[in-house]
Amino acid sequence: MSVRTRTDLPHARRVVVKVGSSSISAESAGRIESIVDALASAQGAGVEVVLVSSGAIATAIPFLSLDGRPHDLATQQAAAAVGQNVLMWRYQTSLDRYGMLAGQVLLTAGDLENPAHRSNAKRAMERLLSLGILPIVNENDTVATHEIRFGDNDRLAALVAELIGAEALVLLSDIESLYTRPPGEPGAEPISRVAYGDDLHGFEFGSVVVNSVGTGGAATKVSAARLAAAAGVGTLVTSADLVSDALSGAEIGTWFDPNPEPVGAPSTGPVRTSADKLGG
């Protein structure tokens, strides 16, 4: 069925779920269990699920005795090579409880710009889903360069949702919903729903956050949600702790209505995330 509201999520045919580095690394690594619980439950109910997971570089930090997220590209690539292995092991170990298998899919921005690579990525994920395997997608940081990177996996998730014809996208964050301004500021109010085409110019979402484990922030989620919505994919932004409620159709988070007349997703070029305000 078509997913027009968050309450339709349990009945979706195909859903993409994205989780960020801070939600599954360091002291939060145990959250992988609850995320897998929710994905397994959805799959058991007949929903095809694709997971877009950040966290490779963040996962490698303690193994490489780094003080924080590396800034030079070579160390980022090395950390991604180590961390991706550990991250997939953690997911697979958790999936073993349900007799499920994970399939790793690593992409670069160039893959989604190249027609042949794009077609191959789509075909691979379609086949994984038909075999009952959970595709776990991440940016291929070991070969990506600063010039061609997606910039954040929120955008990658939106593009993957469009690529495979998903009916909904769930962007998991550290807070329950988006706010009209940074939630710690006076007057900040939660945003429950964004109708397609709504002008968000008056809302302050902040610039990209770069911390010790990853990149992202409210601005990147708004940009990604609007990208997905334009392609006809309804999008929910909520907390990683509420993933089960989200996939169950609970009235939580910030819902972006899908375009009733979908258009193709824009190119994978740089996303505007440095501005504090996003216009309509």
Positive or negative torsion for Cα 278, 200, 244, 247: negative
Question: How far is the CA of 214 from the CAs of 168, 200, 278, in angstroms?
Answer: 24, 26, 22
| Residue 43, domain member (yes or no) | yes
pLDDT tens digit string along 62-119?
Answer: 999 999 999 888 999 999 999 999 999 999 999 999 999 999 999 987 898 899 999 9
Confidence check: pLDDT of 137 > 70:
yes
Q: Is the pTM for the entire model greater than 0.95? A: no
**Binding site members for ATP:** 18, 173-174
Binding residues for substrate: 54, 141, 153
The CA dihedral of 30, 239, 237, 142, to the nearest 10 degrees, is -30
Q: Which of 27, 275, 265, 52 is nearest to 152 (CA)?
A: 52
pLDDT digits (tens, 9 = 90+) for 163-206: 999 999 999 998 999 999 888 889 899 999 999 999 887 677 75
Q: Which residue has the higher pLDDT, 215 or 196?
A: 196
Q: In a 10 Å sphere around its CB, with 0-12 CB exposed, 13-18 middle and 19+ buried, how is residue 195 labelled? A: exposed
More confident of the two residues 212 and 5: 5
50-81 in b/e form (b: 16+ CB < 10 A) is bbbbbbbbbbbbeeeeeeebbeeeeebbbbbe
Structural domain range at position 73 = 6-256
- In the chain, the percentage of residues whose pLDDT exceeds 90 is 72
Q: Is residue 68 in a domain?
A: yes
Report the number of distinct structural domains present in the chain.
1
208: pLDDT confidence band, cut at 50, 70 and 90? very low
Give me 248's structure tokens.
């169950």
Mean pLDDT calculated for residue range 144-149: 63
Which of 111 and 252 is assigned the larger pLDDT?
A: 252
Asked if residue 219 lies in contact with residue 241, where contact means CB atoms within 8 angstroms, the answer is no
Do 210 and 143 contact (CB within 8 A), yes or no?
Answer: no
Higher pLDDT, 17 or 280: 17
Q: Could you tell me the end-to-end alpha-carbon distance of the chain, in angstroms, rounded to an integer? A: 28
* Residue 261 belongs to some domain of the structure: no
CATH number at residue 82: 3.40.1160.10
Those residues whose C-beta lies under 8 Å from the C-beta of residue 30, and which sit 6 or more positions away, are none
What is the amino acid identity at position 40? A
Using the predicted structure, report yes or no on whether residue 144 has a pLDDT greater than 80: no
Binding residue positions: 18, 54, 141, 153, 173-174
pLDDT level of residue 263 (50, 70, 90 thresholds): low
Q: Which residues pair with 138 in a beta bridge?
A: 106
265 in any annotated domain: no
Q: Is the per-residue pLDDT at 10 higher than 90?
A: yes
Residue 279 lies in a domain: no
Kindly state whether residue 273 falls inside one of the protein's structural domains: no
Q: What is the mean pLDDT of the chain?
A: 88
State percent of the chain over pLDDT 70: 86
pLDDT in tens, 31-73: 999 999 999 999 999 999 999 999 999 999 999 999 999 988 8
**Residue 184: its pLDDT value, please?**
83
Quote the pLDDT of residue 266.
44
Asked if residue 264 has pLDDT above 80, the reply is no
Which residues are within 8 A (CB) of 80 and not within 5 positions of it... i.e. 6 or more apart?
A: 56, 57, 60, 140, 141, 142
Q: Considering the domain boundaries, does residue 263 fall inside one? A: no
Calpha distance 68→250 (Å, rounded): 36
Mean pLDDT, residues 130-145 taken together: 91
In a domain? residue 272: no
